[in-house]
Amino acid sequence: MQASILNTIRSRVSDTINTAEKSLAHTLFGRWVLEVWLIFWSLLKIMLPALIVVRFIEIMGWITILGEAISPIMLWVGLPGEMGLVWMTAMVSNLYAGMAIFYQLGGVEQLTIAQVSVLSGMMLIAHGLPVEAMIAKATGVTLWFTLLLRIGGGMLFGLILHYSYSGLDALQAPMSTLWQPEASDSSWLSWTILQAKTLSAALVVIAGLTLIIHLLRYLGIEKAIHYLLSPLLRLLGIGKKATNIIVVGLTLGLAFGGGILIREAKSGDIDSKDIFLTIAFLGLCHSIIEDTLLMLLLGADLSAVLWARLIFSIVFIAILARLIRNLPTSKFRFLYHRKDGAKKQHSTI
């Protein structure tokens, strides 16, 4: 009886949604509203479960356990072992949470500018993994590769920065910080309000971004952006059709820009290897405005968190593009596998 009632409700809801979609599709404004909603819904289905999982991980104290487990790794990059908790918090939650733990552990009094730059560089490459890895997975990039790329890339970048600063004896002065976070309420109500604000902001960003993309396309500016980015894309071994994904990811990041990234990836108009390399590049370097500013507030040096990260990401992906150039489809599927029904392309870069 209950199953029959649920099926009836689902059927009526589905019919109502289909009717609403058909009515919206008749007007320009309606098509835009429908586009925004479909993009936001695809993002919401990924973010909401991931955010709930992260919340329970925090409550159960697993972040502390994992942070202690990676403390020996932090010594490899010239950081105190307790900074492992900072990086682990950023990886499981986000940069803001990592920064809060950094101040709680007294990082300001312990580290030099070089050390906080190393830590910031690692956090920038590997943070928010539950949400961002699932967004990458929705575009077709396998989960294991994303985690290996982000965590391994963060460690490699940290090692490069550490040995560069040590060898040159650079930025060894004690760090100073421009900002410290206020104490936050850890209750379920506070968490729910914060996530609601985050998701609402994502909806507003998606709405604004889709309007901007349509406007740029109408004015012909989109072609100019493609032309300006073409040298970078050629260096990365990525086709020009992926330009919009690059622009969205670099400016908004993977979380806020995730819905747009997923739609572009599933459109079927972009080569599979181009999508794979683009998402891999954005995994190493995204949200270059907001995230960079956060790490500058933490006390990091601009050369590390912006220019060195850009160069590292470009060189890394350029090498990766050459490695997968002639990779057979059967082996490429271990790295990238698009399960949707979109037209699949797989050509030589």
Q: Is a pLDDT exceeding 70 seen at residue 342? A: no
42-46, 197-201, 288-292: segment of lowest average pLDDT: 42-46
DSSP 228-290: HHHHHHHHHT--GGGHHHHHHHHHHHHHHTHHHHHHHHHTS-S-HHHHHHHHHHHHHS--TTH
Whole-number pLDDT of residue 347: 39
Task: Map residue 22 onto helix, strand or coil.
Answer: helix
Over range 100-125, report the average pLDDT: 85
Q: Which helix (H) or strand (E) holds 140?
A: none
pLDDT tens track for 86-105: 899 889 888 888 887 887 77
Q: Which helix (H) or strand (E) holds 160?
A: helix 143-168
Report residue 20's pLDDT band, with 50, 70 and 90 as the boundaries. low
When the pLDDT of each residue in the chain is averaged and rounded to a whole number, the result is 80
Q: Is a pLDDT exceeding 80 seen at residue 231? A: yes
Whole-number pLDDT of residue 320: 92
Q: Is a pLDDT exceeding 70 seen at residue 318? A: yes
Residues 6+ apart with CB under 8 A from 289: 251
Choose among 206, 210, 197: nearest CA to 41.
Answer: 206
Q: CA torsion angle for 191, 193, 199, 202 (degrees, to 10)?
A: -110
Over range 260-266, report the average pLDDT: 74
| Domain spans, the chain | 22-177+187-332
Report residue 26's pLDDT band, with 50, 70 and 90 as the boundaries. low
58-72, 220-234, 237-251, 276-290: segment of lowest average pLDDT: 220-234
Whole-number pLDDT of residue 270: 80
Report residue 162's pLDDT band, with 50, 70 and 90 as the boundaries. very high
